[in-house]
């Protein structure tokens, strides 16, 4: 029955109430480029790189020997770095930002490179942001052009940003499986907290996307366990990769089915999870996979924002984490960026500047509220 159809009192009315399920739940062969929810500007930006078509089956999986997986993720890293470089190729440098590099000694005795970005004309303390880059804790680097631009834009918005070149499970900064990268992020947090005055930082927000979203939440959980939670004033995690349940997706995380293959595929995510924890000994360790945190782990945490993308396989695990925070009494906000794939509000600066800078502004507004 149409909403504008004439109504006759006493007439029998039949309404088709069969729900139309979204994405691949409703149409198994749905492609990202054809999903009516997708922002057409994003689809147009993806088309030259073949990203509007769903990712095909991975040539390896979580049962593949680790040496072959390391070779595969090394090749994948080079491809992603090339893609992100092309997406940023025509962007003008961000003006008014001063950049410097610090080398610190980590808790494992290793050197860690930190990239510091700040407004060039800043006077007085500013909110600080510890940025942890994406890549499934296995690939990519803070030095990459996309992440450098993200830190520049955050600095231009009024942050002192510290980007961490942590050790990865694979690729050029690997192979160092869990907990090496987390240890480096913890080391950077401790350094930043100890040097707030020298940095001109008034407060510290920990933030990152994807694998960096995992490390953002895990660094916070670890600080809570270690008695260092006072160093963190706020947490802003974007599209966090936190369940570890990708080789065999959990049925209550519907987005792993609904959006599987949209820019990311679950079998590929399962490969990254295997490289991060090769023996599978930490599959329910919340410091490796924060989705498995308990209420006791979360009690006493600072305010959080959990931002997810509508068309991301990882969407529902982020929302589930938000609900867990609220149940534990933590001040938390959930934010969904509609029309975007995984990290789409970070990746498509040129194609969707309004979406990109909306997220930058939201991170700054959150920091200012603390």
- pLDDT at position 177, please? 98
- pLDDT at position 271, please? 95
Quick one: pLDDT band at residue 16, thresholds 50, 70, 90?
Answer: low
Quick one: pLDDT band at residue 15, thresholds 50, 70, 90?
Answer: low
- pLDDT at position 344, please? 97
- Provide mean pLDDT across the span 43-61: 92
Across 17-21, 83-87, 236-240, 330-334, least confident range: 17-21
Q: Using an 8 Å Cβ cutoff, are 138 and 211 in contact? A: yes
pLDDT above 90 (res 195): yes
Across 27-36, 55-64, 107-116, least confident range: 55-64
- pLDDT at position 4, please? 42
- What does the pLDDT look like over 277-305, one tens digit per residue? 999 999 999 999 999 999 999 999 999 99
Count of CB atoms situated within 10 Å of the CB of 15: 7
- What does the pLDDT look like over 198-247, one tens digit per residue? 999 999 999 999 999 999 999 999 999 999 999 999 999 999 999 999 98
- pLDDT at position 55, please? 81
pLDDT above 80 (res 2): no
Count of CB atoms situated within 10 Å of the CB of 93: 8
Across 1-5, 34-38, 45-49, least confident range: 1-5
List, in order of start, the domains of the chain with CATH numbers. Answer: 67-369 (3.40.50.1820)
- Provide mean pLDDT across the span 119-137: 95
Question: Average per-residue pLDDT in the chain?
Answer: 94
- pTM confidence score: 0.94
Residue 287 CB partners (closer than 8 Å, separation 6+) = 178, 179, 182, 218, 221, 222, 225
Percent of the chain's residues with pLDDT above 90: 87
- Provide mean pLDDT across the span 249-264: 95
């Amino acid at each position: 029955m149409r909403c504008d159809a004439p109504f006759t009192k006493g007439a029998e009315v039949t309404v088709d109430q069969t729900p139309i399920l979204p994405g691949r739940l409703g149409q198994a062969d749905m492609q990202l480029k054809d999903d009516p929810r997708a922002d057409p500007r994003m689809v147009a930006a993806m088309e030259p790189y073949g990203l509007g078509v769903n990712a095909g089956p991975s040539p390896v999986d979580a049962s593949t020997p680790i040496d072959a997986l390391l070779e595969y993720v090394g090749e994948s890293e080079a491809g992603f770095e090339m893609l992100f470089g092309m997406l940023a190729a025509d962007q003008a440098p961000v003006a008014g930002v001063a950049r410097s590099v610090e080398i610190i000694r980590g808790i494992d005795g290793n050197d860690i490179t930190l990239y510091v970005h700040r407004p060039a004309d800043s006077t007085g303390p500013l909110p600080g942001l510890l940025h942890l880059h994406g890549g499934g804790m296995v690939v990519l680097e803070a030095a990459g052009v996309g992440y450098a631009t993200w830190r520049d834009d955050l600095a231009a918005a009024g942050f002192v940003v510290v980007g961490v070149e942590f050790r990865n499970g694979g690729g050029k900064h690997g192979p160092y499986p869990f907990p090496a990268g987390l240890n480096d992020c913890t080391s950077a947090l401790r350094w930043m907290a100890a040097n707030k005055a020298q940095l001109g930082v008034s407060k510290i927000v920990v933030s990152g996307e994807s694998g960096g979203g995992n490390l953002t939440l895990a660094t916070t959980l670890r600080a809570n366990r270690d008695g260092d939670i006072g160093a963190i004033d706020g947490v802003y995690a974007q599209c966090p990769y936190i369940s570890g349940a990708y080789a065999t997706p959990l049925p209550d995380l519907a987005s792993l089915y609904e959006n599987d293959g949209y820019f990311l595929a679950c079998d590929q995510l399962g490969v990254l999870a295997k490289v991060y924890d090769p023996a599978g000994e930490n599959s329910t360790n919340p410091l490796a996979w924060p989705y498995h945190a308990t209420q006791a782990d979360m009690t006493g945490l600072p305010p959080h924002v959990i931002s997810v993308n509508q068309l991301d396989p990882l969407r529902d695990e982020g929302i589930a984490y938000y609900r867990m925070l609220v149940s534990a009494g933590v001040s938390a906000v959930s934010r969904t960026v509609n029309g975007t794939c995984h990290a789409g509000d970070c990746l498509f600066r040129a194609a969707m500047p309004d979406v990109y800078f909306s997220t930058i502004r939201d991170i700054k507004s959150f920091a200012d509220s603390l």
